[in-house]
Amino acid sequence: MQLYNTMTRRKEEFTPLRDNHVRMYACGITAYDYCHIGHARSAVVFDVLVRTLRHMGYTVTFARNFTDIDDKIIVRANENGEDPMALAERFIQAFYEDMDRLGILRADVEPRCTTHIPEMLVLTEELIAKGHAYATPSGDVYFRVRSFAGYAKLSGRDIDEMRAGARVAPGEEKEDPLDFALWKAAKPGEPTWDSPWGPGRPGWHLECSAMSDKHLGLPLDIHGGGQDLIFPHHENEIAQTEAATGTEMARFWVHNGFVQVDSEKMSKSLGNFKTIREIMDAYLPETLRYFLLTKHYRSPIDFTLDNMDEAEKNLRRIYTARQEMAAALAGTKWAGADLPAELATELAEQEAAWEAAMADDMNTAQALGHVFNLVRLAGRIAEDKALRKTQGAKTAWERIQADLDTWGAVLGVFTQDPAQFLAALRDTQARRKGIDAAQVQALLDQRAAARAAKDFAASDALRDQLAALGATVKDTPAGQVWDVA
């Protein structure tokens, strides 16, 4: 597999360090608010990476942390008049609810900052002993950035230029404006833990260094997160980890791109901040997940309602094809020749191309193109009167369904029961358009009675009423099926 390595700024052949075992760490949330679409993208990217590696035959141990004590948590808790630890726990549970709906697999290890204080104290003491960190009279401990020769190798920044624009804030006891906090002395009303430098709490960057080493061991095969974490978080992780251990922190650094909203950077100040929950109030969770797969993970992606509608349309197309293939496979008497050689070749080419797309730096956008190539092939077979009831059609459809099962399991989409998904999609669209599903059903019941009584004038009038509500009706052997116009 080829993976883009942020450290080397190029795609490289990925192989795990230890036999077939991949040890991967991704930075999780700071638990002070509901997750937004940026969190969703990062979660989907690393979920698909884990699934892809396992699909390729690797054993994967995936760790994703929770920051459950931090300045932001303390500020929000004070605003709410709430205990910081209770607030963090509440938003960790909200994270699980959101991620479960998005189909995100639970990480194998989910460490929390507050349960790894001893490991962070040991790491800090090691850095002080080696001259890479220093304690201040007030009880803060800082990392001495200029003591680590490789600082900024991930981000490529010039530390002299950074130094020129940096200042030491009043009351700080830093030797250098670039130095960052490993341990923060206690302030009134904040949660604290005992340390050799007095009561306090860890700095943000320290936790990932301590937890990744404890649970996975160094060097990690893959360390991941959003592009916004490259500097300062991941840069600082590298510095403190490698300065303390003398060991490379991670062999591959993988970062997902930003999410924009209507072509603008998402921010609360612009009023375009989108939480996962707000989006899932209007769209099915799978629609959001699918949308996030439509661009290469390193590229920016633009969240718009038009793009979400397009994702919905594409999912409908895939699920409808799956439903139609399933119906044909269940209700056809097969005869005649097996799969023509040219179709067998076309299937094999698409299967190989899908695998190649995922092995090429996890190109989900390209992989989805091969999904639609199979959908189109299934449709061509259905339209071919000479082929559609032959053993060859049966073989092709069974193979396409099996491919979609396998590919869907890796991507985390189009694996639900088609009828259930399509009904849920219809109901979601109806709700967005203000269509009263109960009113539609009542009219459908009246129309069914009219048709049973052969009162076709009444049936047509009811169809018109349904159309006026925004509902279309299709009569099938199994009864009336309605959809949003």
Whether residue 171 has pLDDT greater than 80: no
Segment 266-315, tens digit of pLDDT: 777 677 788 999 999 999 999 999 999 999 999 999 999 999 999 999 99
Gap between the Cα atoms of 418 and 453, Å rounded: 32
- Residues 345 and 199: their CA atoms lie apart, in Å, by 69
pLDDT in tens, 119-142: 999 999 999 999 999 999 999 999
Summarize the confidence of residues 16-44 as an average pLDDT: 97
The predicted-structure confidence for 217-244, as pLDDT tens digits, reads as follows 999 999 999 999 999 999 999 999 999 9
Write out pLDDT tens, residues 323-374: 999 999 998 899 988 999 999 999 999 999 999 999 999 999 999 999 999 9
DSSP codes, 169-199: PTT---SSTT-EEEEEE--TTS--B--TT-S
User: Which whole number is the average pLDDT over 191-215?
Assistant: 96
* Reported confidence tier of residue 485, pLDDT bands at 50, 70, 90: confident
Q: What pLDDT score does 297 carry?
A: 98
Rounded to an integer, the average pLDDT of 60-86 is 96
Could you check whether the bond before residue 477 is cis, i.e. omega within 30 degrees of 0? no
pLDDT at 479 (0 to 100): 87
Instruction: Tell me the domains of the chain and their CATH numbers.
Output: 2-276 (3.40.50.620), 305-417 (1.20.120.640), 433-484 (no CATH)
Per-residue pLDDT at 468 exceeds 80: yes
Rounded Cα–Cα distance for residues 344 and 337 (Å): 13
Cα dihedral sign for 72, 78, 81, 83?
positive
Quick check: 88 and 31 in contact, CB under 8 A?
yes
pLDDT tier, 476 (very low <50, low <70, confident <90, very high otherwise): confident
pLDDT of residue 29: 97
State the chain's mean pLDDT as an integer: 95
